[in-house]
Structures are given as C-alpha cells and as structure tokens.
Amino acid sequence: MDDRYDVVVVGGGAAGLAGAVALARARRTVLVVDAGEPRNAPADGVHNYLGREGTPPAELVAAGRDEVTGYGGQIVAGRVDAVDRDGADFVVTVDGGRTVRARRLLVTTGLADELPEVPGVAERWGRDVLHCPYCHGWEVRDRRIGVLATGPLAAHQARMWRQWSPHVLLLLHDTDAPDADEAERLAARGISVVPGPVADLEVADDTLTGVRLASGEVVALDALVVATRMTARSALLESLGLTPVDVEMSGHVVGRQVPADASGATAVPGVWVAGNVADVSAQVIRAAGAGMMAGAAINADLVEEDTRDAVAEHRRQREAMFTEAAWEERYQARPAVWSGRPNPQLVAEAAELTPGRALDVGSGEGADAVWLAERGWRVTAVDIATTALARAAEHAKAAGGQVAERVEWTHADLLRWSPAEATYDLVSAQFMHLPPQPRRALFARLADAVAPGGRLLIVGHHPWDLRTTAHRMHYPEMMYTAEQVAAQLDPARFEVLVAQARPRAAVDPDGRDVVVHDAVLLARRR
Ligand SMILES: Cc1cc2nc3c(=O)[nH]c(=O)nc-3n(C[C@H](O)[C@H](O)[C@H](O)COP(=O)(O)OP(=O)(O)OC[C@H]3O[C@@H](n4cnc5c(N)ncnc54)[C@H](O)[C@@H]3O)c2cc1C
C-alpha cells in the first residue's frame, strides 16, 4: 500500500471493481480494500450478466481483480473499519491499524440480507433457498417452488415465480391469509396457499426436499423462496454523516440504502457510493454499471480539482517568472542552463553584417554576446541574473583574444531598464517572452536604441509551437509572431527585411523529432 491514492474504493465486489477499473484506466491511483464477502458468494453462477452468463461469482470477481491490477490499480484484502477527514483528504483505517490517505472515496460495501428466522434457511441460502427469480428462476423452472411468506408482498412474489414454474405454493407461515381479490388471483394462476408456520427444512443428500410445518406435515419442494430485508452496509458512511433511508416496494419497506445522485455522489463532498449499498435492487451488471459511472464521475471531479490547482500554480509561476530571484534560482540549480551555442537566427542574420556596436538583451550565459564579440562587435549584454552574467564573463575570458574586452556585461531588469537611444548597429532580443503590455514597451525601447542604418533582430518562439510536443512554457499570451512585432514598428522609421515563421528541427522531451518555428523579425532603421 502507498501512503496516498487518488481514490480508495471500499469493497471489491462488482461495483467496487468496475469503479476501480474506470479509475485505473483514467490513470488515477486507486486502492481497493476488500473484505472478500460478496453478497452472491453462495450462488453457483452469476446470471443476467451479459457476455458472462453463468460465470461462478468468484471467477467474475477474480477476472475483475485482474483487470484492476492490469491497469495499475492495487487491491488489498482487509476490512475498512474507520474513515476520517483530515483537511481535504480522507484517512482510511484498514483492519484497525494501517492507514492510507485518499483524495476521494468510493464506498461499495454492498448490503446484508437479513433472512427469516426459520431453522435451516441460512445454511441453504443461495443454493435452494432463493430470493430472486432473475438470479435463480431459470435454474428451477418447472420445479416445485414454495414461497415462504414473511410480509405483505408474499402473494406478489408467488405470482412472480409462477412465471418460471406451474408448481408454486404460497406458504403463509405466520402471515395473514390473502384477501378475496388476492386469493382469486392466486387461484387463477394455479398457486395453492398453505396455512401454518414453517418449522424446519427437510434436506436429503445436501438437497432441499421440502419444508416441515409446525403441524408436522411435510410439503415436498425443490426450492424455497424467501424475502430478505436488504440493509445497506453503511456504518462507514454513517460515520461521515450519511444516513441510509428506507426503500419501499408497493408501499412496504424492503430495506435501507444510502441516498446518492445518478452518478453515485452523496451529500458528503468527495464520497461516492455504488452497487447495493446505494441501490438494494441492483443486480451484478447494474452494480458494475453504477461503479463504472461513479469512477468516471470521481475522475471528472478530480479533473476539476486538478485544474483549479494548476491555475493557482500557473498564476504563481507567472508572477514569479520575471523576478530576479526566480532567474537566480534557475541558474543556480544547474551548472549550465543553455547550450553554449549562439542562437541560430542570430547566426543566420548577423554573420555577414559589418561589426559595430551591438546590444544583446537577455544575454543569459553569454553565447550570443561572445559569438558577436568574436566577430569584432562591441557588445552591451544585459541580463537580470548575476550568476548568468558571471558565467558569461568566464566564457568570454575563455574565448581568448579581445573577446572579454569587447563585451560590457550589464546587470539590469529589462522591464525597467532603457538602453541609450539611436546607439546600436544591431539590437538583438532572442526569445524574450513577456506579457503583451511590457513586451510591447520593451520592444519599443529596443527599436529606439537602434542607430540609423542599424538593425533590430527580434526572435521568439512562434505560437504554433504550443501545438507541438516541443517543450514550451504554456503561456500563449506571451508568444508572438514576427508580423505582430513588425506591426508595432513605425514604417517611416523602419524597413522590415524579414518577418516570418522560420521552421527549425528540434527534439521533444520524449525524444521525438519535431519541427518548431521561430518568429523572426529583422528590420533596418531608415
Ligand atoms: C444468493 C444470491 C445470488 C445472486 N445471484 C445473482 C445473479 O445471478 N445475478 C445478478 O445479477 N445478481 C445476483 N445477486 C445479486 C448480487 O449479489 C449483487 O447485485 C451484487 O453482489 C452487488 O454488488 P456490490 O459490489 O454492490 O456488492 P457485493 O458484491 O456484495 O460486494 C461488496 C464487497 O464489499 C466488501 N466489504 C463490505 N464492507 C467492507 C469494509 N468495511 N471494508 C472492506 N470491504 C468491505 C464485502 O466483503 C464484499 O466483498 C445475487 C445475490 C444473492 C444474495
């Protein structure tokens, strides 16, 4: 068990496992804790489960468990005996000791069938003591079926089972005789009514042969049908403040279940329910469907929470992004942040220019400034991070010759710094990505810094790059096209020489080849 999961599923029957499969396939971390007592365990096969008709219950559960673990979900055997809130998390206690945290809970603990207190009934439950014609009716078709009356719905139950066999008896046990209308309906369907309490079951060779009435009379039968009171296993949910409600059938209470909406969401935020705990009439396929639905709803809820968290982090990063402290932290975390090679668009556009005075803004570890100085340019290189400037100066020194003397390293925050006007023969800004308003202001100051006849080179990551798998900060408003930059320039002062999206081969973080685009603006001051 890990310490924390996206979802802990309590109960690993059809509902819990189907929910866990949906969650694991949605790439959520999920733990199923299961006490291993599914309601239909005594039955030979699961019926009315499309595609798996008649599969033994344990086999279906085993297949479901394989599916959960096959997608990375985890399953542990154990009983959850407490669930507590701790901040936004739930703390789930397993077997009185181990605890595990969860962002969401899916409770699928099923229900308890409360059986009539007739000797022998509990022992034969699910084998030849039956409750549900859809689960067992076909298997006992045309056999002798006794319906043990324990409440006012018994006559209705007897008429229902009559669909599967012409040999149905209604054993009144300790209930009242049907009224005249009901008696007529039963007679019309050939259902005999047997008065007197049932005292015991008759069994031979581990097979039901009949029931013995208190009078001593034995009624021969092949199956005994009982009505159970179906009580949701809701203790954990009650500890979270959820109260089960009565379930009525034809005006009579047949059980209790925990209320939830169609997706299984309860009134307690973060807690979902599915299967018999929330719907006492759910068969296996419906329990599985409800589990799947709850799993999807939980994932959707987590997606919303993840998005809220991401927005907060995105805003925090955007606020911190342009501070000196953030850049210092970035440079100090690694011995080299950049490749050490000059930017390709600078090389493409400046290699043939006659050296003069250059301004390189956001000079980083100095690769562009050193490259320019090596070609004879006198460079003013500006950066916000002293660590980067110190590294750049080292690179300039290592380049030898007069390179170091030709570069003036300047520590400044470009959001506030203004270069000397009409001074530089080349002003280069490589990948300066700022919010629109300060970006436009900076580019205007850079344009002012270009000497008559000099060039302004602005290169950025093109917005198209956000459609690729290339690593890019996802701040669309900070991306720009060359055309957008060109539109800012006064045509009376600048002649645009290049304004294009220039393709460049790159490799994404997963090692895939991708084509990215540089927005390249080159303009000459008239
Ligand atoms: C005899 C019988 C035969 C049936 N035959 C059929 C049939 O043929 N076809 C059909 O569609 N339906 C049949 N059903 C109905 C079927 O059993 C239910 O529809 C189904 O089991 C509901 O699934 P579930 O996941 O809600 O609950 P369950 O299958 O009961 O699973 C609940 C799980 O939660 C576990 N659990 C409970 N509390 C805790 C806890 N605190 N911590 C950890 N784990 C816990 C239990 O041990 C259990 O493993 C039959 C029912 C019975 C009684």
Among the candidates 203, 225, 247, a domain finishes at 225
Residue 385 shares a structural domain with residue 493: yes
pLDDT in the model for residue 1? 85
Residue 86 lies in a domain: yes
**Residue 279 CB–ligand 1 contact under 6 Å:** no
Work out which ligand 1 atom sits closest to the CA atom of 46.
8
Spatial neighbors of 264 by CB under 8 A, at least 6 apart, are 106, 272, 273, 274, 278, 290, 291, 293, 294, 297
Among the candidates 179, 206, 225, a domain finishes at 225
Range of the domain at 189: 116-225
For residues 372 and 47, what is the distance between their CA atoms, to the nearest angstrom?
Answer: 80
In angstroms, what is the span from residue 167 Cα to ligand 1's centroid?
A: 30
Residue 137 lies in a domain: yes
Residue 338 shares a structural domain with residue 461: yes
Residue 92 shares a structural domain with residue 122: no
In angstroms, what is the span from residue 418 Cα to ligand 1's centroid?
A: 74
Residue 448 lies in a domain: yes
For residues 443 and 12, what is the distance between their CA atoms, to the nearest angstrom?
Answer: 62
Residue 206 shares a structural domain with residue 354: no
For residues 332 and 21, what is the distance between their CA atoms, to the nearest angstrom?
Answer: 44
Residue 485 shares a structural domain with residue 348: yes
Work out which ligand 1 atom sits closest to the CA atom of 15.
25
Question: Which residue lies with its CA nearest to atom 47 of ligand 1?
Answer: 37
Per residue of the chain (526 residues), what is the pLDDT tens digit?
889 999 999 999 999 999 999 999 999 999 999 999 999 999 999 999 999 999 999 999 999 999 999 999 999 999 999 999 999 999 999 998 999 999 999 999 999 999 999 999 999 999 999 999 999 999 999 999 999 999 999 999 999 999 999 999 999 999 999 999 999 999 999 999 999 999 999 999 999 999 999 999 999 999 999 999 999 999 999 999 999 999 999 999 999 999 999 999 999 999 999 999 999 999 999 999 999 999 999 999 999 999 999 999 999 999 888 999 999 999 999 999 999 999 999 999 999 999 999 999 999 999 999 999 999 999 999 999 999 999 999 999 999 999 999 999 999 999 999 999 999 999 999 999 999 999 999 999 999 999 999 999 999 999 999 999 999 889 999 999 999 999 999 999 999 999 999 999 999 999 999 999 999 999 999 9
Question: Which residue lies with its CA nearest to atom 50 of ligand 1?
Answer: 40
CATH number at residue 163: 3.50.50.60
Residue 491 lies in a domain: yes
For residues 385 and 324, what is the distance between their CA atoms, to the nearest angstrom?
Answer: 6
Residue 357 shares a structural domain with residue 274: no
pTM: 0.91
**Residue 135 CB–ligand 1 contact under 6 Å:** yes
Residue 456 lies in a domain: yes
Most ligand 1 atoms within 8 A of CB, residue of 53, 76, 109 to mutate: 109
In angstroms, what is the span from residue 13 Cα to ligand 1's centroid?
A: 6
Long-range contacts formed by 151-155: CB under 8 A, 24+ apart: 151/175, 151/227, 151/252, 152/250, 152/252, 153/227, 153/249, 153/250, 153/252, 153/254, 154/227, 155/182, 155/185, 155/186
Residue 356 shares a structural domain with residue 438: yes
In angstroms, what is the span from residue 209 Cα to ligand 1's centroid?
A: 28
**Residue 126 CB–ligand 1 contact under 6 Å:** yes
pLDDT in the model for residue 95? 96
Work out which ligand 1 atom sits closest to the CA atom of 81.
41
CATH number at residue 495: 3.40.50.150
Residue 292 shares a structural domain with residue 415: no
Q: In total, how many domains does the chain have? A: 3
Residue 321 lies in a domain: no
**Residue 42 CB–ligand 1 contact under 6 Å:** yes
pLDDT in the model for residue 456? 98
In angstroms, what is the span from residue 69 Cα to ligand 1's centroid?
A: 20
Token couple for 499: 């304004």
Residue 511 shares a structural domain with residue 454: yes
**Residue 421 CB–ligand 1 contact under 6 Å:** no
Question: Which residue lies with its CA nearest to atom 35 of ligand 1?
Answer: 11
In angstroms, what is the span from residue 136 Cα to ligand 1's centroid?
A: 16
Work out which ligand 1 atom sits closest to the CA atom of 49.
11
Token couple for 132: 């549900």
Residue 510 shares a structural domain with residue 448: yes
**Residue 275 CB–ligand 1 contact under 6 Å:** yes
Residue 323 lies in a domain: no
Residue 437 shares a structural domain with residue 467: yes
Query: 364: alpha, beta or left, given left = phi > 0 and alpha = psi -120 to 50?
Result: left
Work out which ligand 1 atom sits closest to the CA atom of 113.
53
Among the candidates 308, 341, 356, a domain finishes at 308
Question: Which residue lies with its CA nearest to atom 37 of ligand 1?
Answer: 109
Residue 39 lies in a domain: yes
Spatial neighbors of 2 by CB under 8 A, at least 6 apart, are 29, 31, 74, 100
Most ligand 1 atoms within 8 A of CB, residue of 39, 49, 90 to mutate: 39
What number of helices (H) and strands (E) belong to the chain? 15, 26
Residue 216 shares a structural domain with residue 339: no
